[in-house]
Amino acid sequence: MIYLNIIYDFLMIGMLSFGGGYTTIPMVKDIVEKYDVLNIEMLENFIAISESTPGPIAINLATFVGNEIGGVCGGVIATICEVLPAFLIILIFVKFFKKYIDNENVKFALSIIRPCIVGIIMAVGAGMFVSNLFPYVSEYIKIKDNIEVKKQFIDVAKLIDSTMYLNQIDRMKIELVEYKLIIIKCVIITICVILAMFLYKKILKKKLSSIKTIILGAILGIAINYIL
Amino acid sequence: MMFELFITFFKIGFFTIGGGYAMISVVQDECVERKKWLDNEEFLNLLAIAESTPGPIAINMATYTGYVKGKFLGAVFATIGVVLPSIIVISIISYFIKDVLHIKIVSDAFFGIRVAVSIIIIKTACNLLITEVSHSQYKILTVVLFLVFALVIVVSDILGKNISTIILVFIAILLGIILSLARSMKKL
The strand pairing partners of A54, in sequence order, are: B17
Smallest CA–CA distance from A106 into chain B, residue: B180
**A28 lies in the same domain as A96:** yes
**A140 lies in the same domain as A82:** no
User: How far is B18 from B1, CA to CA, in rounded Å?
Assistant: 28
Domain end, chosen from B71, B100, B129, is at B100
Nearest CB partner across the interface for A122, out of B13, B101, B125: B125
Cα-atom radius of gyration of chain A, to the nearest Å? 24
- Is the pLDDT at B146 greater than 80, yes or no? yes
**Chain B interface includes A26 (CB < 8 A):** yes
CB contact under 8 A, B179 and A108: yes
Nearest alpha carbon to residue A74 among A84, A64, A83: A64
Smallest CA–CA distance from B140 into chain A, residue: A115
**B26 lies in the same domain as B90:** yes
- pLDDT tens digit string along A110-154? 888 888 888 888 888 888 788 777 777 777 888 888 888 877 777
Residue B19 confidence class, pLDDT cut points 50, 70, 90: low
Domain end, chosen from A102, A124, A145, is at A102
Whole-number pLDDT of residue A101: 67
Residue A195 confidence class, pLDDT cut points 50, 70, 90: very high
**A30 lies in the same domain as A84:** yes
**B95 lies in the same domain as B12:** yes
Residue A201: CB atoms within 10 A of its CB come to 12
- Is the pLDDT at B18 greater than 70, yes or no? no
User: How far is B8 from B74, CA to CA, in rounded Å?
Assistant: 12
A116 is a domain residue: no
A181 is a domain residue: yes
The strand pairing partners of A186, in sequence order, are: none
Nearest CB partner across the interface for A105, out of B60, B148, B184: B184
Q: What are the start-end ranges of the E strands in chain A?
A: none
Domain end, chosen from B100, B125, B159, is at B100
Interface of A with B in 40-59 (CB under 8 A): 41, 44-45, 47-59
Whole-number pLDDT of residue A188: 92
Task: State the smallest CA–CA distance between residue A158 and chain B in angstroms.
Answer: 41
Whole-number pLDDT of residue B22: 65
**B90 lies in the same domain as B117:** no
Cα-atom radius of gyration of chain B, to the nearest Å? 21
Q: How many CA atoms lie within 13 A of A34 on its CB side?
A: 17
CB contact under 8 A, A90 and B180: no
Task: State the smallest CA–CA distance between residue B130 and chain A in angstroms.
Answer: 10
| Residue of B25 and A69 predicted with greater confidence | A69
| Residue of A151 and B20 predicted with greater confidence | A151
**A27 lies in the same domain as A85:** yes
**B34 lies in the same domain as B94:** yes
CB contact under 8 A, B83 and A59: yes
**A156 lies in the same domain as A69:** no
Residues 6+ apart with CB under 8 A from A56: A20, A21, B13, B19, B20, B23, B56, B57, B58, B59, B82, B86
Q: Which of A23, A32, A36, A45 to mutate to test the interface with B (most CBs of B within 10 A)?
A: A45
Q: How many CA atoms lie within 13 A of A112 on its CB side?
A: 20
A148 is a domain residue: yes
Residue A162 confidence class, pLDDT cut points 50, 70, 90: low
- pLDDT tens digit string along B92-115? 888 888 788 888 888 888 888 888
User: How far is B144 from B98, CA to CA, in rounded Å?
Assistant: 42
Nearest CB partner across the interface for B121, out of A22, A63, A91: A22
- Which range of residues forms the domain containing residue B47? 2-100
User: How far is B64 from B53, CA to CA, in rounded Å?
Assistant: 12
Looking at every residue in chain B, the average pLDDT score rounds to 84
- Which range of residues forms the domain containing residue A195? 132-227
User: How far is B172 from B178, CA to CA, in rounded Å?
Assistant: 10
Into how many domains does chain B fold?
A: 2
- Is the pLDDT at A34 greater than 80, yes or no? yes
**B18 lies in the same domain as B96:** yes
**B14 lies in the same domain as B88:** yes
The answer to ipTM > 0.85 is no
Whole-number pLDDT of residue B178: 93
Q: Where are the alpha helices (DSSP H) in A158-209?
A: 163-204
Residues 6+ apart with CB under 8 A from B159: none
Tell me the helices (H) and strands (E) count for chain A, helix number first. Answer: 7, 0
Q: How many CA atoms lie within 13 A of A187 on its CB side?
A: 9
Whole-number pLDDT of residue A135: 74
Nearest alpha carbon to residue B168 among B183, B181, B143, B151: B151
Q: Do the beta carbons of residue A24 and residue B61 sit within 8 Å?
A: no
User: How far is B59 from B83, CA to CA, in rounded Å?
Assistant: 8
Q: Which of B111, B135, B145 to mutate to test the interface with A (most CBs of A within 10 A)?
A: B111
Residues 6+ apart with CB under 8 A from A194: B119
Whole-number pLDDT of residue A110: 80
**B22 lies in the same domain as B87:** yes
A119 is a domain residue: no
**A23 lies in the same domain as A80:** yes
Residue A161: CB atoms within 10 A of its CB come to 10
**B8 lies in the same domain as B91:** yes
Give ∠ CA B50-B7-B34 in degrees, rounded to 5.
70
**B115 lies in the same domain as B183:** yes
Q: Do the beta carbons of residue A208 and residue A201 sit within 8 Å?
A: yes
CB contact under 8 A, B176 and A112: yes
Domain end, chosen from B100, B117, B143, is at B100
**A136 lies in the same domain as A97:** no
Q: Taking residues A206-211, what's their average pLDDT?
A: 75
**A93 lies in the same domain as A146:** no
- Is the pLDDT at A160 greater than 80, yes or no? no
Nearest alpha carbon to residue A83 among A3, A22, A4, A24: A24
CB contact under 8 A, A55 and B16: yes
Specify the amino acid at residue B136. S
Smallest CA–CA distance from B67 into chain A, residue: A91
CB contact under 8 A, A27 and B165: yes
**B125 lies in the same domain as B155:** yes
